[in-house]
């Protein structure tokens, strides 16, 4: 099985409203896939179709090599679901909930106990096996949900906002657990609004907006594409401005574009220069792509630079070294996955769901 999930023009309509509009993507087996989208974008409907909780209006999908329309029962046997709201029985213990799920899938008694015990050890919840779900913390409930969802050994695990509302320490524990589950062979579909979580964990990311798949790539690929798009737009705008001024001035181009600096995408850089002095600072300020220089604490210099000048970072470093500056730290602020999300979901096609 090359792909754990593959969709083919997957579509869902409710009367005159198109919730999901001909979505196509492939999720390789053994990867972690992040699914992002604004509220109401069609993300939940897509997941429901992949989970066989609702039927597509047209198109279809293959989940664990089974068609969601033709073989829904086989699909259900291959997937596990951990919903955002814990759906375990609150008046049953951790172990009793796991046993109930085991019985639902028809797991033989001689296998059931070992499976549950091994899973509770894996997610580190054995110490609370006899506690009622109602007595558990948020993180413990998520771990109990994982045990119940994994007891039938699914190939594909759907996680819906698994760390929402959890403290940073518990988040990290669950992040490590997600990695361990993936390393053990599970394909994981992660639905989350935590961009850092998705960026850190996922091999590939799909962004859905107005029922359409508007972006699909690796997290780094999405961020790199944003830089490329912004660079092309910047160069297009500058070219347009130059042509306008050229025509207005009759071919004379004594142009000062500094008045348009607010329209230029600036990258933030920071240096710690142990022996910083006025000569070093002035040399940095003299560089054309450097738009702003501010002195911070502990010998730190904060810059804003034209992010579309490919050599500017090297130029700044060379300038500092040429003045015998000793650089002890360098940092740059790159586009984030949140920047990509905001960009691709900012333009809503009002007719896309008609």
Rounded CA separation 240/166 (Å): 49
8 Å CB contact between 142 and 166: yes
pLDDT tens for each residue of 130-161: 999 999 999 999 999 999 999 999 999 999 99
pLDDT at 261: 45
pTM for the complete prediction?
0.81
pLDDT at 284: 92
pLDDT at 257: 45
- List the beta bridge partners of residue 206: 35, 216
Assign domain 224-339 to its CATH architecture: 2-Layer Sandwich (3.30)
pLDDT tens for each residue of 230-282: 666 655 655 555 565 556 655 554 444 444 444 455 678 899 999 999 999 99
pLDDT at 343 over 80: yes
Q: What percent of the chain has pLDDT over 70?
A: 86
Q: Which of 60, 38, 35, 33 is nearest to 49 (CA)?
A: 60
pLDDT at 266: 66
Mean pLDDT of the chain: 87
Alpha carbon 14 to chain centroid distance?
Answer: 28
The helix (run of H) or strand (run of E) holding residue 198 is: helix 195-201
- For the chain, the domains span 3-217, 224-339
Q: For residue 165, with 0-12 CB atoms within 10 Å meaning exposed, 13-18 middle and 19 or more buried, which class applies?
A: exposed
DSSP E strands in the chain: the ranges are 3-14, 17-23, 26-28, 32-36, 58-63, 66-67, 79-82, 156-160, 187-191, 204-209, 212-217, 266-273, 290-295, 300-306, 327-333
pLDDT tens for each residue of 284-322: 999 988 888 999 999 999 988 876 566 888 889 999 999
pLDDT at 72: 96
Q: Domain 3-217 carries which CATH code?
A: 3.40.50.300
Tracing tokens 């022996």 back to the chain, one arrives at: 275
Rounded CA separation 209/36 (Å): 9
Instruction: Give me 183's structure tokens.
Output: 């390393």
- 3-217 and 224-339 have identical folds: no
pLDDT tens for each residue of 73-85: 999 999 999 988 8
């Amino acid at each position: 099985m090359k792909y754990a999930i593959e969709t083919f023009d997957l579509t869902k309509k409710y009367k005159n409203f198109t919730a999901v509009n001909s979505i196509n993507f492939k999720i390789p087996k053994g990867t972690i896939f992040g699914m992002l989208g604004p509220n109401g974008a069609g993300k939940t409907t897509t997941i429901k179709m992949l989970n066989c909780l609702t039927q597509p209006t047209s198109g279809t999908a293959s989940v664990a090599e089974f068609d969601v329309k033709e073989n829904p029962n086989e699909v259900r046997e291959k997937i596990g679901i951990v919903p955002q709201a814990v759906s375990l029985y609150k008046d049953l213990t951790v172990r009793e909930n796991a046993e109930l799920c085991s019985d639902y899938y028809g797991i033989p008694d001689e296998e059931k106990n070992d499976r549950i015990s091994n899973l509770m050890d894996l997610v580190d919840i054995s110490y609370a096996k006899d506690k009622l779900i109602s007595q558990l913390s948020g993180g413990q409930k998520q771990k109990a949900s994982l045990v119940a969802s994994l007891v039938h050994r699914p190939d594909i695990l759907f996680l819906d906002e698994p760390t929402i509302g959890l403290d940073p320490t518990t988040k990290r524990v669950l992040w490590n657990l997600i990695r361990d589950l993936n390393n053990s062979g599970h394909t994981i579909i992660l639905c989350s609004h935590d961009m850092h979580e998705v960026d850190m964990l996922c091999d590939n990311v799909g962004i859905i907006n107005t029922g359409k798949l508007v972006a699909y790539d690796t997290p780094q690929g999405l961020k790199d594409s944003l830089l490329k798009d912004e660079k092309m737009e910047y160069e297009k705008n500058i070219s347009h401005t130059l042509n306008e001024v050229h025509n207005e001035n009759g071919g004379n181009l004594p142009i000062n574009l500094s008045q348009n600096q607010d329209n230029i995408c600036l990258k933030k850089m920071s240096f710690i220069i142990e022996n910083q002095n006025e000569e070093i600072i002035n040399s940095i300020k003299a560089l054309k792509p450097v738009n702003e220089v501010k002195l911070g604490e502990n010998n730190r210099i904060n810059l804003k630079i034209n992010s579309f000048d490919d050599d500017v970072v090297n130029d700044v470093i060379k300038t500092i070294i040429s003045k015998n500056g000793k650089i002890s730290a360098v940092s740059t602020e790159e586009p984030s996955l949140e920047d990509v999300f905001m960009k691709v979901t900012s333009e809503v096609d009002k007719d896309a769901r008609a």
